[in-house]
Structure 1
């Protein structure tokens, strides 16, 4: 059999080449339907936020007609003592909840990773329950607990509830990081004369510091914006900012609320950017320190 006899006819080769080219063009073609659905999703998600930001700079007291650019409502917010007190309380609660959840979460994550037996596995499973439980259930349960113990709802009860709710987030984040650490480094420190506490303080915690800092930023943002848990555990006055805004909009949305929402949005974006930048920053520093022999 000759080589010419084994080749396919010229027409067959042409059709095969055309089919291959058609498939290649189909693979390179942009999925128009997927792009349209994605664009619609982002429009529905961010268009209301964009409207809030836009009308926070409106010069007149209108939520439908934009007249001129002005910082009138930002100035009104800065001169509103009630809102300023609420912002101060939210910052105080967020900072306390962040510190408390970090301290307890680090210890709990270390115990869960290094704990042996069925008890450690069961405790790790229990820690995931608050993450999947509706927050309204946690809020009602916290309120009933405080009422049952005869504790008056106040700033302290909000702090306790937020710390309890935030521990799970810190534990889940740090648990994966601790599991990735090499235990031989800590054992080498103890072989060189360090006690277990010194090895934990000088070796383990510095290695966990980027994750701890990122968890702290995340908890601060979550607690500052939280409404459900704060609503069920707060007292009469002062109230967290989220609860104060809800109380204000029940009597009509004021343009000042747009300014407050815009500032909260800017703060949340800054915190998220900081949380994303911290691990990369410390990763680069760690690599430079390793290369320099420090």
Structure 2
């Protein structure tokens, strides 16, 4: 009587055959489609090529927008010595700072009120806050201009600031609302149980927890207001004008190489501010990030 025994070489051989096949399938799955790469490269090329041309010709030594004669900081020096553009730059900075402060203060209060409100009116107000985000900015600009004209207010820097604050409140509220909703209300209630008033609990417990998001929102609003053109164009006066409106007025009489330098500086500033807005929450999320910013 003979016994049959299964040879272990059979499954080993089968395993050796399946391993290369699975590796080949995994390799094919991990390959990036060339068409997707080409389309992505074409998209970013069409998106950033005009910006690259502006940056390049801002360093042009010749007074030409078509012929590049070598690298030079000539047009940046011309911008620094242009009193009109410097005045417009100062006006834009003042408007941005005022709009950032006003929209953040009102947006924080509104976000906390909308989250803590338990009535139907709070839900309706939350939906209304989304309307400015989806409304075309030109509609908001025309409506703001008609409102100021209707009440007899002369267009000036103040009207631009009021319009920018009104437009920016929605951004701050939407950003902060999710953060306020994520906070545990029991922490604030515990502070009041320990003797703190409602205002003290808000100031010592809730606001410090919202500080990273508030700072990020403030930086983002500053960048948006500083670069805004449509709303500023419809609500600004004759003089002084924001920098974006001044650039448009100068382009109407012909594009000058100085405008390329101004646009490049505005682009660099906006990128730096947006990067800062993205970096602030991460910095506070690190251990000791709050102590680092407070200097303690």
TM-score of the pair, normalised by structure 2: 0.91
How many angstroms apart in 2 are the aligned matches of 1:209 and 1:265? 27
User: For 2:65, which of 44, 63, 66 is the aligned residue?
Assistant: 63
Alpha-carbon contact 2:78-2:258 (below 8 Å) kept = yes
Within-5 A mapping of 1:119-268:
119-268=121-270
Shift of residue 24, structure 1, vs aligned partner: 2.8
- C-alpha spacing 1:29/1:219, structure 2 compared with 1 (3 Å): same
How many angstroms apart in 2 are the aligned matches of 1:14 and 1:212? 59
1:13-64, CA deviations, whole angstroms, 9 ceiling, x for partnerless residues? 9997776455333212221000001111111111111111111111110111
Aligned residue for 2:110?
A: 108
Aligned residue for 1:280?
A: 282
Query: Which consecutive unaligned segments of at least 5 residues does structure 1 have?
Result: none
SS at match of 1:153: coil
How many angstroms apart in 2 are the aligned matches of 1:78 and 1:177? 41
How many angstroms apart in 1 are the aligned matches of 2:230 and 2:290? 44
Alpha-carbon contact 2:284-2:290 (below 8 Å) kept = no
Q: Report the count of equivalent residues.
A: 288
How many angstroms apart in 2 are the aligned matches of 1:204 and 1:14? 61
Q: Which moved more, 1:277-286 or 1:153-162?
A: 277-286
Within-5 A mapping of 1:1-20:
20=22
Shift of residue 179, structure 1, vs aligned partner: 0.4
- C-alpha spacing 1:18/1:283, structure 2 compared with 1 (3 Å): closer
Alpha-carbon contact 2:100-2:165 (below 8 Å) kept = yes
How many angstroms apart in 2 are the aligned matches of 1:26 and 1:280? 36
How many angstroms apart in 1 are the aligned matches of 2:186 and 2:22? 55
Query: Which consecutive unaligned segments of at least 5 residues does structure 2 have?
Result: none
1:187-209, CA deviations, whole angstroms, 9 ceiling, x for partnerless residues? 11111111000111111111111
- C-alpha spacing 1:288/1:272, structure 2 compared with 1 (3 Å): closer
- C-alpha spacing 1:199/1:17, structure 2 compared with 1 (3 Å): closer
1:229-255, CA deviations, whole angstroms, 9 ceiling, x for partnerless residues? 000000011111111111111111100
How many angstroms apart in 2 are the aligned matches of 1:157 and 1:275? 27
Provide the aligned C-alpha RMSD in A. 2.3
Aligned residue for 1:32?
A: 34
Shift of residue 287, structure 1, vs aligned partner: 7.4
Aligned residue for 1:84?
A: 86
- C-alpha spacing 1:3/1:175, structure 2 compared with 1 (3 Å): farther
Shift of residue 266, structure 1, vs aligned partner: 0.9
Aligned residue for 1:48?
A: 50
TM-score of the pair, normalised by structure 1: 0.91
